[in-house]
């Protein structure tokens, strides 16, 4: 009898355990489903899992709106929910921790308890405001304050702001005072002052239904005083101050500094969990884009429960302002170069030969980055359209055929290898030359035949293509390429701003004699960037050494040698040769001569044509030079399509003006 009783008791105990486990499993499954919906922010489906009493407490619309608004304001992401099993008991309540990333930092909130009630055969959630935040009651409000980080400034070497946060003017219309019989005349006047279409203003006004609402039209720079004063004379015009990114330097800095703009959906997805939201501004081009991580800073925020006048803290994080970036750029020099280029298609780069600091990087034509924070006038739109948006083609990071500017490298390699005897004349007959009959009808051509044997200095001064073709052939492909490599040609330039890679040839080797000969005087397939050729000539002002180029001097404060390009015993020979190009009256760049300043440099005319006999090709004009007494600047400039416009002599007056301005200021 006792055994039977014991068996009954055991069976009943097992039954109770199974029932209890079954019940626990069911509401845990409910919790897990609710948790998944919460993580997905599926508030509608979350509401469907609430108990009937809970649904009487809050409507579906209010539930969805409340969670959506709070989580959106907090910028809640990466939600996770962890059960506190050590605190769980056998009741229908599960304690848990809620974690998420927000504008106020990472939240790990304890104290949540979710309770279940059984309705029919299902378990439902007993909901109240404590499931938003544990300390919250039904009368409380969640407030979120955004702390915006200030974007870092970009400054030139002298501390002048190139990009900063400043005040712009928001121009708009107050319809209540604007409407009237003279409305059409006022619209015409505004359109004329701002150089925009009348229909643009009319559409703005027609889309507004409240005459008391300010209708924004355009933003203006604070410096646009003439437009501002004229607009303020029109009844119904309002002009308000507004914080914005502003740029100093106009078109001269556009391609280099770039601009910021509204983040795109694609960029937002790519930069997920990096502090951006749908209203964020992000660097779109130039240094604003390249230095985005340093400049943008980190926003903060304050999340709290508002209970009457009381603020109950949930989380708080201070904003961290972006870093300032100080560049080696000299804004005044940058503007002078851009002014001299006069919107001709081309590029120019200037560096300090002793430090490697990049003093200017100019692409022409360019754009004023302020147009992206203000507006684009009709005239600006026409200019952009006419130029097929060439203003946005950044030319200073492109590579080009160097023309005769490469002769410095050919001469240096010949001297370094002991092949060239500087004072030993070489007799070359005529203006055309070929090595032998294996070249067929192909000839190397020089501009003039001096009618005598020429030395290295003569060859440099007269820009003798035949002399340098012969030097390249005598060196042979391997020695020529190795020597060019000593100048960094063919190597990816280690520099903050991406610059296209230079090359000696398309395949990195030169296995044909004609190609080697052409390469020696700057044709063939050799390509250089304006920065790289300026670096090459800087060696004449720095004992044959090329310094590593530097742009961000906030971080790269120390000058260091990048390449020992020219043997020291050959530097003066090359300075004398490349100075004669300017100092001698029969030099190819004698028009650059500046009294009291010695410049060693070289013109170059790069022919862009399909064959040697092609007469329809274009020409690019070059000049590269360095001042050699107390060297301060190595400057390169290329201007495209100078054929029938003076060739490289279209460039030389511009370079002279820049050199004189910089070295005599």
Catalytic member of 364, 404, 538, 634: 404
Question: Cβ(166)–Cβ(193) under 8 Å?
Answer: no
> Is the CB of residue 350 less than 8 Å from the CB of residue 633?
yes
Q: Are 536 and 487 in contact (CB under 8 A)?
A: yes
In 3D, which of 335, 379, 338, 334 has the Cα closest to residue 359?
334
CA distances from 49 to 65, 70, 171 (A): 17, 20, 51
Residue 234: φ, ψ to 5°: -90, 125
Cis amide linkage into residue 381, ω under 30° from 0: no
Please state whether beta strands 358-364 and 141-147 pair in parallel, antiparallel, or not at all (unpaired). Answer: unpaired
Q: How far is 411 from 580, CA to CA, in rounded Å?
A: 15
What are the φ and ψ backbone dihedral angles of 483, each rounded to 5 degrees? -65, -40
Distance CA 470, CA 514 (A): 11
What is the CA 244 to chain-centroid distance, rounded? 18
CA neighbours closer than 13 Å in the CB half-sphere of residue 94 = 25
Report angle CA 83, 86, 90 to the nearest 5 degrees.
Answer: 85
Instruction: For residue 154, report the phi and psi dihedrals to the nearest 5 degrees.
Output: -115, 125
- 314 neighbors 305 (Cβ within 8 angstroms): yes
Instruction: Give how far Cα 212 sits from Cα of 143, 184, 203, 443, 632, Å.
Output: 29, 19, 17, 79, 60
Helix pair angle (407-416, 465-475), 10° resolution: 40
Please state whether beta strands 325-326 and 154-155 pair in parallel, antiparallel, or not at all (unpaired): parallel
43 CA to centre of own chain: 40
Token pair listed for 652: 């030389």
Q: Which of 529, 545, 647 lies closest to 588, judged by CA? A: 647
Neighbours of 141 (CB within 10 A): 12
Q: Which helix (H) or strand (E) holds 206?
A: helix 198-206
Give the CA distances from residue 412 to residues 422, 469, 617, in Å, rounded to whole numbers and listed in that order: 11, 14, 30
226-232 contact pairs (CB < 8 A, 24+): 227/193, 227/194, 228/169, 228/171, 230/193, 231/171, 231/190, 231/193, 231/194
With CA atoms as reference, report the closest residue to 469 among 411, 401, 532, 539: 411
Q: Annotated catalytic, 62?
A: no
Q: Maximum CA pair distance of the chain?
A: 137
Q: Enumerate the β-bridge partners of residue 122.
A: 119
Find the length of the chain: 665
User: Which residues are designated catalytic?
Assistant: 404
């Amino acid at each position: 009898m006792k055994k039977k009783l014991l068996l009954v008791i055991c069976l009943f105990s097992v039954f109770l355990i199974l029932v209890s486990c079954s019940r626990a499993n069911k509401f845990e499954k409910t919790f897990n489903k609710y948790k998944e919906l919460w993580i997905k922010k599926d508030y509608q489906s979350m509401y469907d899992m609430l108990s009937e009493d809970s649904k009487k407490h809050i409507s579906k619309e209010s539930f969805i709106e409340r969670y959506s608004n709070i989580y959106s304001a907090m910028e809640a992401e990466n939600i996770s929910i962890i059960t506190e099993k050590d605190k769980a008991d056998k009741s229908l309540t599960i304690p848990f921790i809620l974690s998420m990333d927000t504008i106020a930092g990472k939240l790990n909130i304890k104290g949540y308890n979710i309770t279940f009630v059984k309705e029919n055969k299902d378990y439902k959630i007993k909901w109240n405001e404590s499931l938003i935040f544990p300390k919250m009651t039904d009368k409380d409000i969640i407030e979120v304050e955004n702390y915006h980080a200030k974007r870092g400034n970009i400054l030139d070497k002298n501390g002048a702001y190139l990009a900063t946060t400043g005040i712009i003017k928001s121009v708009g219309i107050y319809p209540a005072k604007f409407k009237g019989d003279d409305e059409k005349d006022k619209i015409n006047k505004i359109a004329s002052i701002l150089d925009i279409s009348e229909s643009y203003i009319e559409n703005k006004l027609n889309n507004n239904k409240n005459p008391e609402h300010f209708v924004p039209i355009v933003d203006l720079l604070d410096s646009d005083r003439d437009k501002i004063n004229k607009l303020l004379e029109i009844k119904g015009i309002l002009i308000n101050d507004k914080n914005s990114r502003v740029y100093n330097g106009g078109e001269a800095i556009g391609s280099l500094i770039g601009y910021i703009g509204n983040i795109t959906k694609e960029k937002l997805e790519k930069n997920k969990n990096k502090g951006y939201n749908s209203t964020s501004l992000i660097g779109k081009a130039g240094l604003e884009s390249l230095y985005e991580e340093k400049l943008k800073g980190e926003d903060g925020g304050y999340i709290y429960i508002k209970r009457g006048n009381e603020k109950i803290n949930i989380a708080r994080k201070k904003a961290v302002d972006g870093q300032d970036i100080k560049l080696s750029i000299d804004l005044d020099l940058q503007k002078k170069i851009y002014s001299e280029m006069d919107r001709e298609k081309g590029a120019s780069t200037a560096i300090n030969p002793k430090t490697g600091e990049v003093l200017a990087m100019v692409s022409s034509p360019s754009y004023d980055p302020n147009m992206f924070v203000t507006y684009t006038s009709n005239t600006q739109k026409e200019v952009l359209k006419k130029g097929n948006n060439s203003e946005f083609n950044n030319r200073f990071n492109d590579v080009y055929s160097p023309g005769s500017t490469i002769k410095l490298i050919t001469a240096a390699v010949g001297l370094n290898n002991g092949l060239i005897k500087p004072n030993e004349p070489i007799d070359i007959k005529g203006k055309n030359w070929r090595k032998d009959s294996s070249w067929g009808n192909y000839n190397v051509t020089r501009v003039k035949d001096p009618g005598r044997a020429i030395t290295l200095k003569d060859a440099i001064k007269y820009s003798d293509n035949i002399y340098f073709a012969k030097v390249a052939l005598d060196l042979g492909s391997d020695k020529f390429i190795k020597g060019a490599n000593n100048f960094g040609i063919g190597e990816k330039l280690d520099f903050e701003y991406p610059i296209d890679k230079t090359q000696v040839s398309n395949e990195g080797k030169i296995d044909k004699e004609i190609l080697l000969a052409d390469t020696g005087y700057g044709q063939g397939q050799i390509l250089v960037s304006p920065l790289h050729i300026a670096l090459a000539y800087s060696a004449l002002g720095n004992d044959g050494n090329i310094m590593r180029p530097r742009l961000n001097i906030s971080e790269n404060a120390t000058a260091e040698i990048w390449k020992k390009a020219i043997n020291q015993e050959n530097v003066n020979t090359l300075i004398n040769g490349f100075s004669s190009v300017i100092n001698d009256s029969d030099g190819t760049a004698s028009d650059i001569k500046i009294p009291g300043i010695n410049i060693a440099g070289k013109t170059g005319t790069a022919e862009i044509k399909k064959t040697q006999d092609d007469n329809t090709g274009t020409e690019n004009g070059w000049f590269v030079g360095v001042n050699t007494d107390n060297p301060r600047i190595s400057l390169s400039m290329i201007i495209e399509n100078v054929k029938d416009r003076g060739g490289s002599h279209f460039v030389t007056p511009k370079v002279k003006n820049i050199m004189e301005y910089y070295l005599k200021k």
